[in-house]
Structure 1
Amino acid sequence: MFQTFEASSTPEQGLARLAALRAALPAFGVDGVLVPRADAHQGEYVAPRDARLEWLTGFTGSAGFCAVLPDVAGVFIDGRYRLQVQDQVADVFTPVHWPEIQLANWLKDNLSGSAVIGFDPWLHTMTEIAALRDALDGTDITPRPIANPVDQIWADQPAPPMAPFTAHPDNFAGESHAAKRARVAQTLKADACILTLPDSIAWLLNIRGTDIERNPVPHAFAVLRSDGTVDLFARSGKADGIKDHLGSDVILHVWDDFGKVIAALDGAVQIDPKSCPYAVKQLLGDAPLVEQPDPCALPKARKNAVEIQGSRDAHLRDGAAMVRFLAWLDRESPAGGLTEIDVVKALEGFRRDTNALRDISFETISGAGPNGAIVHYRVSDKTNRAVKPSELLLVDSGGQYQDGTTDITRTMIVGTPAQDHIDCYTRVLRGMVAVSMARFPKGVAGSHLDALARTPLWQAGLDYDHGTGHGVGSYLSVHEGPQGISRRSTIPLEPGMIVSNEPGYYREGAFGIRIENLIVVQDAPQIAGGDDRAMLSFETLTYAPFDRRLIDTGALTPDERRWIDRYHADTLRLLADRIDGPALDWLKAACAPLAADRPA
Structure 2
Amino acid sequence: MLMQTHEARLAALREELKRRGVDGFIIPISDEHMSEYVGDYAQRLRWLTGFGGSAGFAAVTLDHAAIFVDGRYTVQVRDQVDEKLFDYKSVPADTLGGWLAEVCADGAKVAYDPWLHTWAWVEALEGRVNPKGITLVPADSNPIDTVWADQPEPSAAVAMVHDDRQAGQSSAEKRAAVADWLTREGHDAVVIPALDSVAWLLNIRGNDVAHTPVALSYVIAHKDGSAELFIAPEKVTPELVRHLGNAVTVRDRAAFETALTGELAGKSVALDPEFAVVGIAQALRSGGAKFVFKQDPTILAKAVKNPVEQQGHRDAQARDGAAVSRFLRWLEVEAPKGGVDELAAAARLQAFRAEDPALRDLSFDTISAAAGHAALPHYKVDDDSNIPIPPGSIYLVDSGGQYAAGQGGGTTDITRTVWVGTPDGMGEPTAEMRDRFTRVLKGHIQIDCAVFPQGTVGGQLDVLARQYLWEAGVDYAHGTGHGVGSFLGVHEGPQRIAKPSGGQAGTGQELFAGMILSNEPGYYKANAFGIRIENLVLVEERQIEGMEGRYLGFETLTFVPLDRKLIDKTLLTESEIAWVDAYHAKVRALIAPQLSGDDLAWLERETAAL
The answer on whether the counterparts of 2:336 and 2:392 sit within 8 Å (CA) in structure 1 is no
Opposite residue 567 of structure 1, the aligned amino acid is Y
- Out of 10, 18, 41, the residue aligned to residue 33 of structure 2 is 41
1:136 CA displacement:
2.9
Q: Are 2:494 and 1:482 aligned? A: yes
Distance, in Å, in 2 between the alignment partners of 1:399 and 1:545 is 18
Distance, in Å, in 2 between the alignment partners of 1:527 and 1:53 is 56
Give the equivalent residue in structure 2 for 1:597.
none
Opposite residue 219 of structure 1, the aligned amino acid is L
The answer on whether the counterparts of 1:400 and 1:406 sit within 8 Å (CA) in structure 2 is yes
Q: Are 2:91 and 1:98 aligned? A: yes
Q: Are 2:348 and 1:346 aligned? A: yes
Please list, as runs of the form range in 1=range in 2, the aligned pairs for 1:225-244 lying within 5 A after superposition: 225-241=222-238, 242-244=240-242
Q: Are 2:376 and 1:374 aligned? A: yes
Opposite residue 478 of structure 2, the aligned amino acid is H
Opposite residue 361 of structure 2, the aligned amino acid is D
- Out of 488, 505, 509, the residue aligned to residue 491 of structure 1 is 509
Distance, in Å, in 1 between the alignment partners of 2:483 and 2:105 is 42
1:137 CA displacement:
4.0
Opposite residue 151 of structure 1, the aligned amino acid is D
Distance, in Å, in 2 between the alignment partners of 1:433 and 1:565 is 12
Which range moved further: 86-95 or 216-225? Answer: 86-95
Give the equivalent residue in structure 2 for 1:217.
214
- Out of 193, 196, 213, the residue aligned to residue 196 of structure 1 is 193
Give the equivalent residue in structure 1 for 2:579.
563
The answer on whether the counterparts of 1:372 and 1:511 sit within 8 Å (CA) in structure 2 is yes
1:4 CA displacement:
5.7
Please list, as runs of the form range in 1=range in 2, the aligned pairs for 1:113-192 lying within 5 A after superposition: 113-146=106-139, 147-188=141-182, 189=185, 190-192=187-189
Per-residue CA deviations over 1:104-132 (Å, capped at 9, x if unaligned) read 22322333423111100000011211221
Q: Are 2:54 and 1:62 aligned? A: yes
The answer on whether the counterparts of 2:105 and 2:134 sit within 8 Å (CA) in structure 1 is no
Distance, in Å, in 1 between the alignment partners of 2:59 and 2:367 is 28
The answer on whether the counterparts of 1:483 and 1:493 sit within 8 Å (CA) in structure 2 is yes
Opposite residue 157 of structure 2, the aligned amino acid is A
The answer on whether the counterparts of 2:516 and 2:537 sit within 8 Å (CA) in structure 1 is yes
Which range moved further: 559-568 or 153-162? Answer: 559-568
Structure 2, unaligned stretches of length 5 or more? 422-427
Opposite residue 129 of structure 2, the aligned amino acid is L
Give the equivalent residue in structure 2 for 1:507.
525
Give the equivalent residue in structure 1 for 2:425.
none
Per-residue CA deviations over 1:397-430 (Å, capped at 9, x if unaligned) read 1011111000001011111212222122112222
Give the equivalent residue in structure 2 for 1:269.
269
Distance, in Å, in 2 between the alignment partners of 1:503 and 1:5 is 44
Give the equivalent residue in structure 1 for 2:470.
458
Distance, in Å, in 1 between the alignment partners of 2:388 and 2:68 is 31
Give the equivalent residue in structure 2 for 1:536.
552
Give the equivalent residue in structure 2 for 1:289.
291
Distance, in Å, in 2 between the alignment partners of 1:44 and 1:539 is 27
Q: TM-score, normalised by structure 1?
A: 0.95
1:23 CA displacement:
2.4
The answer on whether the counterparts of 1:471 and 1:481 sit within 8 Å (CA) in structure 2 is yes
Identity %: 47
The answer on whether the counterparts of 1:340 and 1:368 sit within 8 Å (CA) in structure 2 is yes
1:240 CA displacement:
2.6
Per-residue CA deviations over 1:468-510 (Å, capped at 9, x if unaligned) read 1111100001111111111222111111111111111222221
Secondary structure class of the residue paired with 2:181? coil
Q: TM-score, normalised by structure 2?
A: 0.93
Distance, in Å, in 2 between the alignment partners of 1:99 and 1:124 is 18
Secondary structure class of the residue paired with 1:592? coil
The answer on whether the counterparts of 2:482 and 2:496 sit within 8 Å (CA) in structure 1 is yes
Give the equivalent residue in structure 2 for 1:107.
100
Per-residue CA deviations over 1:60-109 (Å, capped at 9, x if unaligned) read 11111111133432222223222222222131322222233332223223
Distance, in Å, in 2 between the alignment partners of 1:533 and 1:500 is 26
The answer on whether the counterparts of 2:337 and 2:391 sit within 8 Å (CA) in structure 1 is no
Opposite residue 113 of structure 2, the aligned amino acid is D
Distance, in Å, in 2 between the alignment partners of 1:135 and 1:563 is 51
The answer on whether the counterparts of 1:358 and 1:401 sit within 8 Å (CA) in structure 2 is yes
Q: Are 2:364 and 1:329 aligned? A: no
Q: How many residues matched?
A: 584
- Out of 287, 299, 311, the residue aligned to residue 313 of structure 2 is 311
Distance, in Å, in 2 between the alignment partners of 1:413 and 1:90 is 36
**C-alpha root-mean-square deviation of aligned residues, in Å?**
1.5
Give the equivalent residue in structure 2 for 1:384.
386
